C-alpha cells in the first residue's frame, strides 16, 4: 500500500526548465493555458529509478535500452512510474487579473494503491537535492490532502495560500513519494478570482504522467543507465544498490 506522498515547494527560484532526457529525468514540459493563469510542469528527476509493471520481452524494447534509443518511449509504452520519488517542477504565471490559489488537490486514479511495479527496473546513478519546504499527503486515506508534516493532520492550505499577481511567475518543485505501492493520480488547482471559486487541472509533463511506485523486492530485469541514455543489464533481480531497504540485500 502506498504510504506517503510528499510535495516539496522551493518557492520563487526563477529556475528555467531542464532539457529533456530519458525515463522522465528533466523531461519536456506540458502547459495548461485555458484559464486566467498558466501552469507549466516538467520532470526534474536528476537521478533515480523508473519501474515498469512487466519484464521487457520485446527485442525492440531491449534494443532501445542498450543502444541509446528512445528510452522515454519505452517507459511510456509500458506505463512506467518513477520509483520512490517523482520530482516535478511547476511554474504558475499570472494572467490579466490577480487571483488567490487556495489549494492543490490530489486526485488518485483508484481508491487504493496497487502493488509496486516489479517487471523491469531502470536506474540512473546519482542523487537529487534537499527540499526547502515540505508538505505531505497520506494516500492510505480515502480523501488525501496535503498537510504540514508527516505526522501532522493539519491541511497545508488551511492557513496558507498563494497569491498570483498579473504577469507574476511562481516556481514550485514537487516530490511525490511512494514506499510500498504504486499509484497514478491527477492534480487540480483551486483558486478564487473576484470572489468566485474555480479550478484548473495541472498538466502532466509532456510525454509523461503522474505516477509513482515503491521499490519491489525483486524484478524480472534490472538495467542501469548512463547520462547518454545507454543502459546495460545488471546481474541479479534485487535493487540493492538503489534501495537499501530491499529484502535479501
* pLDDT for position 176: 81
Task: Give the residues across from 28 on adjacent strands.
Answer: none
> Cα–Cα distance between 90 and 9 in angstroms, integer?
10
| Beta carbons of 79 and 22 less than 8 angstroms apart | no
> Cα–Cα distance between 3 and 114 in angstroms, integer?
12
> Cα–Cα distance between 111 and 183 in angstroms, integer?
10
> Cα–Cα distance between 103 and 145 in angstroms, integer?
9
For strand 211-213 and strand 81-83, is the pairing parallel, antiparallel, or unpaired?
Answer: parallel
Percent of the chain with pLDDT over 70: 76
Of 3-12, 30-39, 141-150, which range is least confident?
A: 3-12
> Cα–Cα distance between 196 and 75 in angstroms, integer?
40
| Beta carbons of 118 and 56 less than 8 angstroms apart | no
Tens of pLDDT, residue by residue over 68-87, are 888 888 999 999 999 988 88
pLDDT band at 166 (very low <50, low <70, confident <90, very high): very high
* pLDDT for position 39: 92
Q: Residue 108, SS3?
A: strand
Note if the pTM is more than 0.85. no
Output DSSP code: residue 172: E
Per the listing, cell 484548473 goes with: 200
Task: Give the residues across from 25 on adjacent strands.
Answer: none
Backbone angles phi, psi at 128, to 5 degrees: -90, 180
* pLDDT for position 247: 67
| Alpha-carbon 70 to chain mean position | 20
> Cα–Cα distance between 92 and 169 in angstroms, integer?
5
Written as nine digits, the cell of 127 is: 542523487
Tens of pLDDT, residue by residue over 181-207, are 898 999 999 999 999 999 999 999 877
> Cα–Cα distance between 187 and 22 in angstroms, integer?
23
* pLDDT for position 191: 94
Tens of pLDDT, residue by residue over 88-120, are 888 899 999 999 999 999 999 988 889 999 999
- CA distances (Å), 116 to each of 86, 103, 155, 179, 204, in order? 14, 29, 27, 9, 21
Task: Give the residues across from 174 on adjacent strands.
Answer: 88
The pLDDT of residue 161 is above 50: yes
The pLDDT of residue 220 is above 90: yes
> Cα–Cα distance between 180 and 114 in angstroms, integer?
9
The pLDDT of residue 19 is above 80: no
The pLDDT of residue 67 is above 90: no
Rg for the chain, CA atoms, rounded: 18
Amino acid at each position: 500500500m502506498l504510504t506517503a506522498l510528499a510535495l516539496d515547494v522551493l518557492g520563487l527560484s526563477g529556475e528555467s526548465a531542464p532539457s529533456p532526457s530519458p525515463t522522465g529525468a528533466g523531461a519536456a514540459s506540458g502547459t495548461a493555458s485555458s484559464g486566467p493563469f498558466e501552469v507549466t510542469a516538467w520532470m526534474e528527476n536528476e537521478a533515480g529509478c523508473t519501474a515498469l509493471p512487466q519484464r521487457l520481452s520485446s527485442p525492440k524494447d531491449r534494443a532501445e535500452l542498450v543502444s541509446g534509443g528512445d528510452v522515454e518511449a519505452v517507459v511510456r509504452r509500458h506505463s512506467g512510474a518513477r520509483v520512490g520519488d517523482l520530482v516535478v517542477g511547476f511554474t504558475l504565471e499570472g494572467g490579466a487579473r490577480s487571483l488567490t490559489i487556495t489549494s492543490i488537490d490530489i486526485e488518485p486514479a483508484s481508491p487504493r494503491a496497487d502493488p509496486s511495479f516489479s517487471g523491469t527496473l531502470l536506474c540512473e546513478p546519482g542523487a537529487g537535492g534537499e527540499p526547502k519546504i515540505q508538505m505531505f499527503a497520506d494516500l492510505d486515506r480515502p480523501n488525501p490532502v496535503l498537510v504540514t508534516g508527516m505526522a501532522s493532520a493539519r491541511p497545508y492550505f488551511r492557513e496558507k495560500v498563494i497569491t498570483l499577481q498579473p504577469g507574476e511567475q511562481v516556481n514550485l518543485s514537487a516530490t511525490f513519494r511512494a514506499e510500498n505501492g504504486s499509484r497514478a493520480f491527477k492534480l487540480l488547482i483551486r483558486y478564487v478570482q473576484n470572489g468566485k471559486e474555480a479550478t484548473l487541472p495541472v498538466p502532466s509533463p509532456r510525454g509523461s504522467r503522474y505516477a509513482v511506485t515503491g521499490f519491489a523486492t525483486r524484478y524480472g530485469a534490472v538495467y542501469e543507465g548512463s547520462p547518454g541514455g545507454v543502459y546495460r543489464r545488471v546481474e541479479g533481480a534485487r535493487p540493492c544498490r538503489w534501495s537499501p531497504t530491499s529484502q535479501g540485500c
